[in-house]
Amino acid sequence: MKIIFKIAKNELRHVFYSPIAWFVMIVFLVQCAVYFAGPLYSVANWQEIMLKNSPKFKGEKELTFGIFILGGVFYNVVNNLYLFIPVLTMGLISREVSNGSVKLLYSSPVSLWQIVCGKYLGIMLYNVLLLSILGVFMLIGVINIRHVDYGMLLSAALGLYLLICAYSAIGLFMSSLSSYQIVSALSTFIIIFALSRIGGLWQRYDLVRDLTYFLSLQDRVFKMLGGLIVTRDVIYFILVAVMFVGFTLIKLKAGREARPWYIKLGRYMMVSLMVLVLVYISSRPVLTAYFDTTATQRNTIPKEMQQLISDMGDSTLEVTLYTNLLGAGLNRGLPEARNADYMVNMWEPYLRFKPKIVFKYEYYYDIDPQNFDSVTYKDLKEMAGYKADEIDAGLSMFKSPEQMRKTINLQSEGYRVVMQVKYRGRTAWMRTFDDPFFWPDLTNVSAAFKRLLHPDKIQHVFFVTGELERSISKTGTREYALHTAAKSSRGSLVNAGYNVDTLNLEVQDIPAVISALVLADPKMELSNTVRGKLQQYVQNGGNLFILGEPGKQYVLNPFLKQLGVQLIDGQLVEPTYDETPDKIVPYMTTYSGKLQKELSWIGESLTSKKDTLKVLMPGATGLSYTEDSSFSVKPLLTTVPDRVWLKKGDIVIDSTLPPFNPEEGDFKAASFSTTVQLTRTVIDKEQRIVVCGDADFASNMRLPAYLNSYFLMPVYSWLTYNEFPVSMTRISPKDTLLRVGATNAYVQRIICLWVLPVIILLAGTILLIRRKNK
């Protein structure tokens, strides 16, 4: 080992006496400074502005991840690393060959493996120096970011160093192949570039898909950059370095022996085979360990999801991905997207806790005749052939409609990319969506798993029809399909685990399996039959969601009377700068934060009525309620004090602000409740009812995604005793604020971009001049 260290020391000294090494250090430093100081200054400037406008601003995003990882310094260094390594490694062996010193090494009492290991150790030590440059910026980040995520930084540093060492081993081998340093550098560049891109090549073909993806180096480091250390990736980097160091030893040994070519080739193949076997064994799911080093455990599914997977035991979960050649999401379902997208982005977090998942794939072509004219439908096979040619695939890999329908009919799923999961004979759907993520998220997956595990806990929500209520199937602006029965909507009830259906109380009775009943804005007076069934349902302790509209108070008030709640006659008016006065913006109360466990932070944020979440209600009336009814009443949405009044009669919104006229019945109050919750105990069970003075806020046109997550879905969840969506415990990030302002960050930017490179330039220049003088 002493000889190896002496060779490494000599190699490191030679590197520092070379202008190239100093040039690489300066360029590497400038690159790190650009991708660190720039984002740091932008965040500091933005934070300073936010704090001036809102002194209680607490930040929103994880700054450690944003500044260092996502588009930050680590990510860019990894992407540009192939530019530096060839320059550093091109002379490791070729320099010795070109100047003739290799003969002295061969004739010395030093073995080849000591020479190779010593030179590789020397470049590894230089890599530590490069990492220490990045460590300077990590230290600056630790000083500047409050509650910085140390685990993520250390994991990213480990991943980067392993990648550099793997690249260096490749450069060492390429340096042994030629006596010309420029040839060695170019060869190293080509090999590293190829290994960085090979993961996306030939992914359509089963025989080579796993092999090419397996050879990709960069794809394996990104997990560690995000704070997840996986043993198979660490072992992979080590084995790749060992393999190329072994190749170097074989090459140098071959130059000193007169052996047939097939023996030399056999040595390379033997080393390659041994590495492949070890990589294969270490990558088995049962032998793979994961370490999430982040403070928020952002790479680990929540404990509730882990519990669902644990409840499955050793039973196998079967997942079938159906991909339609003529359907939406084709590119994400094709074989070439299977490794890098489908397995990594969709299933890897779950495979960590459930290795026994069997994946199947079905490819077909079909269309819904209702969406195509008859001529096109008759030429379906021809159309599929054109599409197959377009994506450079053979039509034979896709089943015909007739062949597919013998197994399953996917018309109800819209013939788009969809997954069917099977567990102990039960099935559930997991759908894809037209948004950037595309695949089902944690809420969608947990809902499907819970339906498979606990079919007795599936919640059934019925929507009353027959009096022109809002529809759960229509996509018009007034209707409710988007958040209820739309399978293409990520946040809909059907994708959160619910069974959703309609119920005409004129001809149907309320089923015993019902979990909650929704009466959404009936336009006609309720008949005695309907009202009688509703009253009986309430008396029996049924849960109910009632949504009314101004101008139709007479439809619901007779029924609401038994609840002790009334829709106030008239319409609320709120003057605002941007909207017409009929659009009310009430805020969510602390009781809204108790609808679902994940919303508990809402109560903590109610430092003032201006700071909390608000809900846009385009046309609403207030609710009045009595305190002496059998129900306990709590407001969920309340208007901002002293800004809203109730207007009697018609409101003209395309003119000047409607005047406040007490003589016509207008009146003001400190605030108006627009949504309330009612609870009472009936037959040892808490009965839950929600009454809302507006129905448009939940319509397809008006419902934003954040409101569905923060208010509407929690209402449904509360009404069904929070069985769905599955509640998840998440750790909130703390590294959301900087300790520095814009001015300080700008000074640091100047130091990083100019002062530090100049210092290294001067140090290198002085050292090289002194070396030359000696």
Domain boundary assignment for the chain: 2-294+737-773, 303-447, 458-719
pLDDT at residue number 47: 93
Pairing of strands 544-547, 685-692: parallel
pLDDT at residue number 107: 63
Q: With 60 as the cut, is the pLDDT of residue 117 above it?
A: yes
Cβ neighbours of residue 513 closer than 8 Å, sequence gap 6 or more: 460
Instruction: Count other C-beta atoms under 10 Å from residue 743's C-beta.
Output: 12
CA distance 133 to 142: 15
What are the tens digits of pLDDT across the range 55-105? 878 887 899 999 999 888 999 999 888 888 888 888 888 877 666 666 666
CA distance 568 to 557: 9
Are the CB atoms for 540 and 682 separated by under 8 Å? yes
Residue among 434, 404, 400 at smallest CA distance from 416: 434
Long-range contacts of the stretch 80-83 (C-beta < 8 A, 24+): 80/31, 81/163, 81/164, 81/167, 81/192, 82/167, 82/189, 82/192, 82/193, 82/196, 83/189
Residue owning tokens 């993806």: 213
What are the tens digits of pLDDT across the range 525-572? 999 999 999 999 999 999 999 999 999 999 999 999 999 999 999 999
Question: How far from the centroid of its chain's Cα atoms is residue 637's Cα?
Answer: 31
Architecture of the domain made up of 458-719: 3-Layer(aba) Sandwich (3.40)
CA dihedral 137, 142, 148, 150 (to 10 degrees): 70
Judged by DSSP in three states, 376 sits in: helix
pLDDT at residue number 702: 87
Q: With 70 as the cut, is the pLDDT of residue 361 above it?
A: yes
Q: How confident is the model at residue 607 (pLDDT cuts 50, 70, 90)?
A: very low
What are the tens digits of pLDDT across the range 151-182? 999 999 999 999 999 999 999 999 988 888 88
Are the CB atoms for 218 and 78 separated by under 8 Å? yes
pLDDT at residue number 696: 95
Look up residue 252 and give its two tokens.
């140098």
Judged by DSSP in three states, 489 sits in: coil
Q: How confident is the model at residue 200 (pLDDT cuts 50, 70, 90)?
A: low
Q: How confident is the model at residue 597 (pLDDT cuts 50, 70, 90)?
A: confident
What are the tens digits of pLDDT across the range 495-513? 999 999 999 999 999 999 9
For the ranges 341-350, 354-363, 705-714, the lowest mean pLDDT is seen at 705-714
Residue among 565, 589, 703 at smallest CA distance from 641: 589
Cβ neighbours of residue 265 closer than 8 Å, sequence gap 6 or more: none
CA distance 514 to 343: 37
Are the CB atoms for 71 and 42 separated by under 8 Å? no
Q: How confident is the model at residue 217 (pLDDT cuts 50, 70, 90)?
A: confident
Q: With 70 as the cut, is the pLDDT of residue 377 above it?
A: no
pLDDT at residue number 98: 67
Q: What is the largest CA-CA distance in the chain?
A: 112
Mean pLDDT of the chain: 89
pLDDT at residue number 593: 87
* Rg of the chain on CA atoms, in Å: 33
Average pLDDT over residues 728-743: 91
**Alpha helix ranges (H) inside 415-466:** 442-453
CA distance 170 to 96: 18
Q: How confident is the model at residue 203 (pLDDT cuts 50, 70, 90)?
A: low
Pairing of strands 571-573, 645-647: antiparallel
Angle between helices 218-225 and 73-80 (to 10 degrees): 170
Look up residue 186 and give its two tokens.
């170019």
pLDDT at residue number 456: 94
CA distance 633 to 689: 9
CA distance 176 to 345: 39
Q: With 50 as the cut, is the pLDDT of residue 327 above it?
A: yes
Q: With 60 as the cut, is the pLDDT of residue 248 above it?
A: yes
Distances (CA, A) of 617 to 257, 583, 587: 85, 6, 11
pLDDT at residue number 270: 94
Q: With 90 as the cut, is the pLDDT of residue 106 above it?
A: no
Instruction: Count other C-beta atoms under 10 Å from residue 282's C-beta.
Output: 17
CA distance 653 to 684: 48
Pairing of strands 499-504, 460-465: parallel
What are the tens digits of pLDDT across the range 409-461? 999 999 999 999 999 999 999 999 998 899 999 999 999 999 999 999 999 99
pLDDT at residue number 4: 87
Between 493 and 113, the more confident residue is 493
